[in-house]
């Protein structure tokens, strides 16, 4: 019986748990990739991370803003799209196919095409917005426009994921409650908020749990779209760690920041898991 | 009269909404594809001019780095899919069919390690790989790509086996099948549709994975995503060639979307 988990456990230990231990060891040392003296410095790398104004005032807020807005907006859009696709209409199969595009295309490519479409001079979308007479925005040269673009890209990628899962859940709902609501002459909106949503709640909660954990480690879109810039103002957690370790070549600092993120996620993960369990119990 | 007008308006708004969603999800992809078939001079202001060319694709196909990266990504994705599914199927089966402290602690372990951000273990993995001398090799890329799937896939596999009634396996055991035979001949074939869907998603996610490629691959074993990223962030001006490369890298995604749709949807629903 242990033989069944042995290969999985072996790979997990060697290529995830061992690196985490190596990283913890590195985070207590003055370990730079160009000058690997590896002097033991205790907690001073962690102190440095926690006193770094960029980490506290830019990276952490950005990471959580991205996490909350992206998950909330993707969930909202996903609900709308799923309800739409739940009814038959002309072009529904096509729309359902197209919705899979963001999920199958690499985030690197998505970010590339968004970067190109929003290019200040030649971008199709920038030009189109100017043509509509909207004020011209240099999308990638200020903090909030570029961060908005990062969030929008994330929503573009993940809203379809919510759509597919919620659509499956909608199609699996028992029809009796909807018939009862119809007989009671409930408006579509009231049916949605009082019948559909409560029945979808377990699915929504699990989706939000999985997505929130994954949104915390968003890297690809941010790195390709802004590279953390301008002036490090759009860095999120993963980008911050990557920059510390592989651009500034300060491995100890990078490892300490990585450890801080892992600990934050451990608590967020356990908290969310409790929340899921409680929701599952009350909705039963 | 008024009711008919109202219905017409509602239908109009509905159609516009559907069209807007269509444009929202196709638009960026269309812009990229359109850029890739414009000559170098027409790549800017792609909405002007009517000259189209396939020259960009020819030029990209002649760049040995891009082709090598595509080949490497293909091999890596295929191997990672085989190994990830191979090692998690047993782990999922165990989680589903047996109970005890080992199962409970294994389940807790995979949940906890699922929450660890990738960067937190890929960063030190760079050191481990250089120490073991497998940095920038197939082996050094394959094992992390398998490790990343262990937790989540074990969880999903457990779900597949939970959905299969164990009484069939009991029947097989009574008929003289071994425990292994009951797994291999009875449980595994029933779980096959789910596993097939998972295989497609696993292949795609390895092809699309970027952070691992960026940190763990270099000049010897370039992967398609890291090669793309290098073009965008370092050279960043030849948009026609870049788009052509992106279209090449997008091909598996397009093929899966069109032909493997059923499996992708089934895979995502799990």
Q: What is the pLDDT of residue B125?
A: 87
Residue B103 within a domain: yes
Q: What is the pLDDT of residue B77?
A: 92
- A213, B114: Cβ pair inside 8 Å? yes
Q: Residue A67 — very low, low, confident or very high, per pLDDT cuts 50/70/90?
A: very high
CA distance B109 to chain A (A): 10
- A241, B119: Cβ pair inside 8 Å? yes
B134 secondary structure, DSSP code: -
Q: Residues of B numbered 89-118 whose beta carbons fall under 8 angstroms of chain A's beta carbons: which are they? A: 90-91, 93-94, 98, 102, 106, 109-118
Residue B110 within a domain: yes
Nearest-by-Cβ selection for B115 from A91, A238, A265: A265
Least confident range from A59-63, A185-189, B84-88: namely A185-189
Q: What is the pLDDT of residue A77?
A: 93
In the predicted model, what is the mean pLDDT of residues A236-257?
87
- The CATH number assigned to the domain holding B162 equals 1.10.3720.10
CB contacts of B154 in chain A (<8 Å) are: 8
Q: What is the pLDDT of residue B217?
A: 86
Q: Residue A177 — very low, low, confident or very high, per pLDDT cuts 50/70/90?
A: confident
Task: Tell me the count of A-B CB pairs closer than 8 A.
Answer: 253
Which residue on chain B is closest to A1 by alpha carbon?
Answer: B94
Angle at A108 between CA A78 and CA B121, to 5 degrees: 95
CB contacts of A100 in chain B (<8 Å) are: 257, 261, 264-265
Q: What is the pLDDT of residue A190?
A: 84
Residue B123 within a domain: yes
Query: pLDDT (tens digit, 9 = 90+) per residue, A131-176?
Result: 887 777 777 778 888 888 999 999 999 999 999 888 888 888 888 8
In the predicted model, what is the mean pLDDT of residues A81-106?
85
Residue B12 within a domain: no
Note the CATH number of domain A31-282: 1.10.3720.10
Which of A4, A274, A277 would you mutate first to test chain B, the one with the most B CBs within 10 A? A4
Residue B27 within a domain: no
Q: Residues of A numbered 22-41 whose beta carbons fall under 8 angstroms of chain B's beta carbons: which are they? A: 22-23, 26
Query: pLDDT (tens digit, 9 = 90+) per residue, B189-222?
Result: 888 888 888 888 888 889 998 988 888 888 888 8
B41 secondary structure, DSSP code: G
Question: Quick check: A284 pLDDT over 60?
Answer: no
Number of compact structural domains in chain B: 1
pTM value is 0.88
CA distance B1 to chain A (A): 22
Question: Quick check: A277 pLDDT over 90?
Answer: no
CA distance B117 to chain A (A): 5
Average pLDDT, chain A: 84
Averaged pLDDT, groups of 10, chain B, 270 residues long: 78 85 87 82 68 80 85 91 89 84 84 84 86 84 88 86 83 83 83 85 89 86 86 73 86 84 71
CB contacts of A113 in chain B (<8 Å) are: 28-29, 31-32, 243, 246
Note the helical H segments in chain A: 2-12, 18-27, 44-51, 53, 60-85, 92-98, 101-104, 107-117, 124-131, 143-171, 176-183, 188-191, 197-216, 220-225, 237-242, 251-282
Buried-state track A78-93, b at ≥16 Cβ within 10 A, e below 16: bbbbbbbbeeeeeeee
Contacts of B79 (CB under 8 A, 6+ apart): B138, B142
> Could you tell me if B255 lies within 8 Å of chain A, comparing CB atoms?
no
Residue B17 within a domain: no
- B21, A95: Cβ pair inside 8 Å? yes
Q: What is the pLDDT of residue A36?
A: 67
Under 8 Å between Cβ of B203 and B75: no
Which residue range is the domain that position B117 belongs to?
64-223+245-268
Q: Residues of A numbered 73-132 whose beta carbons fall under 8 angstroms of chain B's beta carbons: which are they? A: 81, 84, 89, 91, 94-95, 97-117, 121-122, 124-125, 127
Under 8 Å between Cβ of A284 and A201: no
Q: What is the pLDDT of residue A126?
A: 80
Q: At what angle do helices A107-117 and B2-36 cross, to 10 degrees?
A: 100
Q: What is the pLDDT of residue A26?
A: 81
Q: What is the pLDDT of residue B43?
A: 65
- A19, B228: Cβ pair inside 8 Å? no
In the predicted model, what is the mean pLDDT of residues A60-64?
90
In the predicted model, what is the mean pLDDT of residues A3-20?
83
Residue B43 within a domain: no
Q: What is the pLDDT of residue A151?
A: 92
Q: What is the pLDDT of residue A70?
A: 93
Q: What is the pLDDT of residue A34?
A: 67
Cα B188 to Cα A27, B57, B75, B163, B180, distances in angstroms: 44, 43, 26, 12, 11
């Amino acid at each position: 019986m242990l033989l069944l988990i042995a290969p999985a456990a072996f790979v997990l230990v060697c290529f995830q748990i061992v690196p985490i231990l190596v990283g913890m060891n590195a985070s207590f040392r003055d370990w730079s990739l160009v000058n690997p003296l590896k002097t033991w410095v205790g907690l001073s790398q962690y102190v440095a991370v926690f006193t770094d104004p960029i980490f506290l005032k830019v990276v952490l807020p950005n990471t959580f803003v991205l996490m909350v807005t992206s998950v909330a907006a993707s969930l909202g859009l996903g609900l709308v799209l799923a309800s739409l696709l739940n009814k038959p209409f002309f072009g529904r199969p096509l729309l359902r196919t197209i919705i899979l595009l963001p999920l199958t295309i690499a985030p690197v490519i998505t970010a590339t095409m968004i970067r190109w479409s929003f290019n200040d001079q030649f971008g199709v979308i920038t030009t189109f917005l100017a043509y509509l007479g909207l004020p011209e925005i240099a999308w990638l040269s200020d903090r909030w426009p570029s961060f908005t673009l990062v969030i929008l890209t994330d929503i573009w990628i993940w809203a379809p994921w919510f759509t597919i899962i919620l659509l499956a859940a909608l199609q699996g709902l028992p029809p009796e409650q909807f018939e009862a609501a119809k007989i009671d002459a409930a408006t579509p909106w009231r049916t949605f908020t009082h019948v559909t949503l409560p029945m979808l709640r377990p699915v929504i909660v699990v989706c939000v749990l999985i997505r929130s954990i994954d949104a915390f480690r968003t890297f690809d879109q941010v790195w390709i779209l802004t590279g953390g810039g301008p002036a490090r103002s759009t860095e999120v957690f993963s980008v911050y760690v990557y920059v510390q370790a592989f651009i500034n070549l300060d491995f100890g600092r990078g490892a300490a920041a990585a450890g801080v993120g892992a600990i934050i996620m451990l608590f967020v993960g356990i908290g969310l898991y409790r929340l899921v369990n409680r929701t599952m119990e009350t909705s039963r | 009269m008024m009711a008919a007008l109202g219905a017409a308006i509602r239908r109009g708004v509905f159609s516009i909404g559907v069209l807007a969603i269509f444009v929202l999800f196709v638009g960026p992809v269309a812009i990229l594809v359109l850029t890739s078939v414009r000559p170098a001079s027409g790549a800017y202001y792609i909405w002007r001019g009517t000259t189209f060319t396939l020259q960009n694709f020819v030029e990209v196909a002649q760049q040995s780095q891009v082709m090598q990266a595509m080949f490497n990504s293909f091999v890596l994705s295929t191997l990672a899919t085989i190994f990830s599914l191979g090692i998690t199927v047993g782990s999922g089966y165990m989680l589903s069919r047996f109970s005890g402290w080992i199962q409970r602690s294994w389940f807790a372990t995979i949940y906890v390690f699922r929450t660890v951000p990738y960067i937190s273990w890929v960063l030190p993995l760079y050191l481990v790989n250089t120490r073991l001398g497998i940095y920038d090799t197939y082996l050094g890329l394959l094992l992390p790509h398998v490790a990343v799937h262990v937790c989540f896939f074990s969880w999903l596999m457990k779900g597949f086996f939970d959905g299969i009634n164990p009484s069939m396996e009991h029947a097989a055991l009574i008929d003289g099948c071994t425990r292994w035979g009951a797994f291999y001949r009875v449980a595994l074939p029933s779980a096959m549709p789910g596993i097939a869907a998972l295989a497609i998603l696993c292949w795609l996610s390895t092809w699309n994975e970027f952070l691992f490629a960026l940190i763990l691959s270099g000049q010897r074993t370039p992967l398609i995503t890291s090669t793309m990223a290098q073009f965008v962030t370092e050279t960043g001006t030849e948009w026609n060639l870049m788009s052509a490369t992106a279209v090449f890298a997008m091909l598996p995604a397009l093929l899966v979307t069109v032909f493997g749709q059923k499996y992708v949807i089934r895979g995502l629903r799990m």
